[in-house]
Amino acid sequence: MNAPRGKLVVISGPSGAGKTSVCRALKQHPQVEFSVSATTRAMRAGERDGIDYHFLPRDDFQRRLAENQFLEWATYNGNMYGTPRWPMDQALARGQTFLVEIEVKGTRQLRERGIEGLYVFIAPPSIDELRRRLQKRGSNDATEIEQRVRIAEDEIAASRELVAGAPLYDVILENRDLDATIRAVEAMLWP
Ligand code: 5GP
């Protein structure tokens, strides 16, 4: 007997809103498979090639793009990011929940292609709170923090846009309390 088709879950949100923590919690579920994106950005300390991202030189990324290997792709902060096409098809066919963590422009491409799934935007409670969280992380200087805050403001505005008359995201969750946010996503996925 064939497994019932799995479900796509798209998670987006600005840097510092908590989406990576939400994804980390969802990955603990055995039925969840996480999409490993390709990117041209430099590897950060602690990241592993093939696990956190497929780190590619720009010409390699562009060749794959020309070969239509990505389901969606976007430029973010000067670097290219893309979701490889095949893992999703295979995971959904196996009945897995396929988790994709991408930014807003890529999400729009998935919606425009009519790809079904649960689309979730994790928002900070406020811009001031986001700035505080980024400062607390201590991994960016003041200029970078303000740059991220500006990108976040654009992303929050874009998250409320419509695609063909329908909301881009099924739900926009304000992450005040991480555990509560994780429980809210889990409840939507496995009611
Ligand atoms: P970072 O460089 O901080 O890991 O990611 C920067 C942004 O790129 C985040 O918003 C992240 O969700 C997004 N991103 C990561 N992979 C992809 C991808 O494959 N496609 C798109 N559109 N965005 C991605």
Could you tell me what percent of the chain has a pLDDT over 70?
A: 99
Query: Which are the contacts of 96, defined by CB distance < 8 A and separation ≥ 6?
Result: 6, 31, 32, 33
Taking CA atoms only, the protein residue closest to ligand 1 atom 6 is: 76
Q: Considering the domain boundaries, does residue 166 fall inside one?
A: yes
Q: Is residue 2 part of a domain?
A: no
Q: Is the CB of 33 under 6 A from ligand 1?
A: no
Cβ count within 10 A of residue 74? 18
The mean pLDDT of 5-32, rounded to a whole number, is: 95
pLDDT of residue 5 exceeding 80, the answer is yes
For residue 19, the ligand 1 atom closest to its alpha carbon is 12
Q: Which residues, in sequence order, are CB contacts of 1 under 8 Å at separation 6+?
A: none
- Hey, which of 76, 121, 122, 145 would you mutate to test ligand 1's pocket, going by the most ligand atoms within 8 Å of its Cβ? 76
Q: What is the mean pLDDT of residues 85-95?
A: 95
Asked if 10 and 102 count as a contact pair (C-beta separation under 8 A), the reply is: yes
What's the pLDDT at 1? 56
Mean per-residue pLDDT over the chain, rounded: 95
Domain that holds residue 22: 7-189
- 168 closest CA partner among 178, 158, 177, 176: 158
Domain assignment of residue 1, yes or no: no
Position 26 scores a pLDDT of 97
Chain CA centroid to CA 15, Å: 10
Whether 79 is covered by a domain: the verdict is yes
15 CA distance to ligand 1 centroid (A)?
A: 10
Domain count, the chain: 1
Rounded to an integer, the average pLDDT of 60-81 is 96
Residue 47 pLDDT more than 80?
Answer: yes
174: CATH: 3.40.50.300
Give this prediction's pTM: 0.95
* 114 located within any domain: yes
* Residues 129-153 pLDDT 10s: 999 999 998 777 899 899 989 999 9
User: Which of 47, 101, 159, when mutated, tests ligand 1's pocket best, judged by the most ligand atoms within 8 Å of its CB?
Assistant: 101
pLDDT of residue 68: 97
Model pLDDT, residue 140: 77
Question: pLDDT > 90: what percent of the chain?
Answer: 89
